[in-house]
Amino acid sequence: MNATILWNAYQGLVIKQVRRFLRSWIQNLLPSVVTATLFMVIFGQFVGRDLGQVGGASYADYLMPGLVLFAVVTNAYNNTTLAFFGARLQRHIEEMLVAPMPAWLIVAGFATAGVLRGLMAGALVMLVALPMTQLELQHPGIGLLVAVLSALLFSFAGLLNGIFARSFDDTSVIATFLLTPLIYLGGVFYPIDRLPAPWDTVSLANPMVYIVDGFRYSLLDEGTTGGGWTLLVLPVVTVSTGILAWWLVARGVRIKP
């Protein structure tokens, strides 16, 4: 009985959130596709021809997995940040708080919608970028696992941003000043072992390195860490971030006076 009630509540939240981002799909899904296409055409096709082999592949092939992951994580992050902050701002988060929805269910619902948007954006980027490469999926299971876990991690992280944000400015500060540099410096555009010391070592502290590397491994069968680190680090960080988000929502931080 309780399980059915909770399942229906979870579905309600996911449907609401998916409808929310699909209602503005031009604003929510297309920018990633446009950006990735431009990167593939300019860097993959024009500039990349002069670069030769990078990380054991053509530059277009090397670039594409990073761009897909870029779309996955930014979309997952932005979705939960804005959805949760919007719910707080307009106070319709109260619709959930008065209902028989435990905190973990609220976190799960928002995170699921973030994952779905991240995966949709990633799939669209892949669809557009794949014809510009010679890539074949080498380890599809690992690729899917890394994409889902990355989307989940950044959905939880976006939720933390949505919980603490006090204004719309706060919803973009982390994405602009932390997330984007981490992604750009996380081996999307170049192998980190080509960096001069000490930056090659410093880069190992960037979690995006492992995420991008694992996903690249699934497509190219090549990667700096061989995908092993990704599958070790990613689940631990994801679960920890999820627990933190649950704890904050359960305590009513910035939600309940």
d(CA 76, CA 249): 19
Counts for the chain of helices (H) and strands (E), in that order: 12, 2
- 47 binds other proteins, rule: CB under 8 A: no
DSSP per-residue string spanning 3-22: HHHHHHHHHHHHHHHHHHHH
Q: Alpha-carbon torsion 167, 151, 29, 246, what sign?
A: negative
Supply the minimum distance, in Å, between the C-beta of residue 110 and other proteins.
Answer: 13
Alpha-carbon distance of 214 to 236, in angstroms, equals 15
Which range touches other proteins (CB under 8 A), out of 89-97, 110-118, 133-141, 153-161?
89-97
Distance between CA atoms of residues 129 and 124, nearest Å: 9
Binding segment toward other proteins, per CB under 8 A, in 17-25, 31-39, 74-82, 168-176: 17-25
Nearer to other proteins, 1 or 197 (CB): 1
Of residues 94 and 193, the one with the C-beta less far from other proteins: 94
Q: Does 22 bind other proteins (CB under 8 A)?
A: no
Q: CB under 8 A: which stretch of 8-16, 63-71, 145-153, 226-234 binds other proteins?
A: 8-16
Nearer to other proteins, 19 or 194 (CB): 19
CA 254 to chain centre: 24
Q: Which residues form the interface with other proteins (CB under 8 A)? A: 2, 4-6, 8-9, 11-13, 15-16, 19-20, 23, 86-87, 90-92, 94-102, 252, 256-257
